[in-house]
A and B are shown apart, each in its own frame.
Chain A
């Protein structure tokens, strides 16, 4: 996790909020560093994490996680992390046609219907222990990324349904959190992606939007992060607070600064 981002979001691993849906959105840049941040943050906060990682392999997240101070292999062994590795499982599902249900079963179908098997997997992974004692603080669902499901043939409505079901179970019933990543296609008129993004923007409590700089590539400023708080918990708090920062990604951390205040310029 990045301490500077924790300060900006005003959260600490001890005091994590519950029942929130966080939307990570990236436009013209790579917002995956936020996924690594939230993964390490919730693992350090002693939460049970179900990570649906569709786009990269387990070792990628593991190696970056080690740089940020968490070990995914040991988290997986002690049961804190349930990891669905999309790339490996998709090959298994596709080439070995057995009839038992699999979370990524929609890959086998000609016209993929819905993501119910995937939801069942998530519910099974995050259900509380039967013996009643809570070893972990709160369940967290992390999805990287949802736009990929559109590329695999699932409709935008089916993905929104999946998110709705997950939110009802994870956020409301189990009082946990959800973090999802969606790519913003920008001017590449991807209607399905726009439907998905707009639908999720309305449902989420916190939106972190990373954008590339409008002026192009820069070595010292990698992009801009806009933080938008929606649905504040207290009715008296101001609605829809928004902040913008620019960031530079380094080897093990990300530094944030106000717009135009990059250390390279000052």
Chain B
């Protein structure tokens, strides 16, 4: 990955790469160091850059995305030299948060930032970054958040949905005291001004760059993309992120954040019409950006309003050109907002693609149904519990509660669905059974008394099943 920087420095370096490669063949254990060290002549010296860590699987250098939960889902973090594409949610409420987390993580770790936007001034974006949760406040803040959340009893052995017990749990939020990789942030507070001033950042605000002349003749790239590409290439070259400047001993990571790429504000019309003139502009930009990133120590986050792109083919191409793709789907305005299953969450998060870098396989997480929740101070990602787990943990599955609520009116006019005898019988029986599962109470009769618990009283004696259930039937 970042070792490709050696290939870029000319023919003389192939010898050193070859010797490095042969050295790595002899002692393959050395490969577990970060790959950033390849620029120096010969050998794989372990150079550690603040805020990075090597991947467990293949020694790939990783940076944190700012959200430890997302890091875990992506297999440890975002690989240096790759693009993280965030598909924005419909009203662009939650994707700016991920964008800000990424930038805030860069400031805390001391990385250089490059913020590009066509909508907001980068200086304003930086002012709104969340404040980091430091060690001593951390425990206090997180404890009060955790108390409000209904804690699952993880030590209760599951009876019905026992297979789910074997699945890995999502990372529980906890204070990370002296970790240099991955921090927690408090959204309700702003980052201290002195941290922003101490950091090295570059801003690209498109309306300011409109008038400056082009160095390269336009070649099917939109003007905005072209200027941004030149700006990025300039910064990478001048500050030595591609290893071209041997004077710079201290290596650092460049974090690039591009907001709302592909929106009409960038001059691109893929979000406006289906058959656009310049449909290759965005994909070409992404390809050239990928080329720049692969040969430098940088990581990029791009938020893109893919829900606005009319042509599905372009979305597929953009996905193929990006390394990691995460999609956000918020519940605002959709039917899921009123679904009791999702009442604690604000939206779903889909990990659409994870790259296979230097490897045949990738760290794909087994858990696919993930939802996010924006609490007062934290943005959390959790596995959505489905019906079986809710029944296990003494929560009604959604359908049953409706039947119970309608108990009084169900047998009257107006609810045609439940007026047949069979439906009412089933409703009462299942409501009876679920009440028993829920409370463990033995034998209180409901309804007219025609349905009697045919199995003996020992069945539900202390809330635990003692013998096989009998046949719930109407006594003769």
Q: List chain A positions with a Cβ less than 8 A from chain B.
A: 30, 32-33, 36, 57-60, 62-64, 66-67, 71, 73-74, 76-77, 85-88, 90-91, 94-95, 97, 107-112, 147-148, 150-153, 183, 185, 187-193, 216-217, 219, 249-252, 254
Contact = CB atoms under 8 A, between A and B. Distances in A.
A66 B216 CA distance: 39
13 contacts: A57-B4, A60-B1, A63-B58, A73-B17, A76-B14, A86-B291, A88-B4, A88-B291, A110-B218, A152-B284, A183-B320, A188-B316, A192-B313
B369 to A, nearest CB: 11
Contacts of B17: 73
B4 A189 contact: no
B283 interface: yes
A71 B24 CA distance: 12
B403 interface: no
Contacts of A74: 18, 21
B286 to A, nearest CB: 8
A77 B18 contact: yes
A253 B7 CA distance: 27
Given A30-B356, A190-B316, A87 B294 contact: yes
Given A36-B360, A60-B357, A91 B233 contact: yes
A32 B353 CA distance: 14
B287 A59 contact: no
B321 A151 contact: yes
Residue with the greatest number of chain A CB neighbours at <10 A, chosen from B17, B18, B294: B294
Contacts of B26: none
A249 B317 CA distance: 24
B317 A190 contact: yes
Interface residues of B, number: 45
Interface string B122-141: 00000000000000000000
Contacts of A192: 313
Most buried by A among B217, B312, B316: B316
B358 A185 contact: no
B280 A153 contact: yes
A215 to B, nearest CB: 12
B313 A87 contact: no
Most buried by B among A59, A95, A252: A59
Given A88-B294, A151-B280, A249-B361, A58 B7 contact: yes
Contacts of A36: 360
A247 to B, nearest CB: 11
B350 to A, nearest CB: 12
A25 B292 CA distance: 28
B446 interface: no
Nearest to A96: B216
A148 B286 CA distance: 11
Given A33-B360, A63-B358, A185-B316, A87 B18 contact: no
B219 A95 contact: no
A178 B233 CA distance: 35
A49 B294 CA distance: 24
A151 B317 contact: yes
A108 B219 contact: yes
Contacts of B291: 86-88, 90-91
Interface in B258-315: 280, 283-284, 287-288, 290-292, 294-295, 312-313, 315
A71 B284 contact: no
B464 interface: no
B7 A110 contact: no
Contacts of A152: 280, 283-284, 287
B313 A88 contact: no
Contacts of B313: 185, 188-193
B247 interface: no
B42 interface: no
A5 to B, nearest CB: 13
A68 to B, nearest CB: 9
Contacts of A85: 7
A73 B15 CA distance: 9
Given A88-B294, A251-B360, 16 more contacts: A33-B360, A57-B1, A59-B4, A73-B18, A88-B4, A88-B291, A91-B288, A91-B291, A95-B216, A110-B219, A112-B220, A152-B284, A183-B320, A190-B316, A217-B368, A251-B361
Given A32-B356, A88-B7, A95 B233 contact: yes
Contacts of A32: 356
Contacts of A193: 313
Nearest to A85: B7
Nearest to B242: A91
B43 to A, nearest CB: 16
B220 A60 contact: no
A253 B359 CA distance: 11
Contacts of A189: 312-313
Nearest to A187: B312
Closest 8 CB pairs of A and B: A190-B313, A153-B280, A151-B283, A87-B291, A188-B316, A63-B358, A91-B291, A188-B312
Contacts of A62: 21
B171 to A, nearest CB: 19
A166 B378 CA distance: 56
Nearest to A150: B317
Given A64-B360, A67-B360, A59 B1 contact: yes
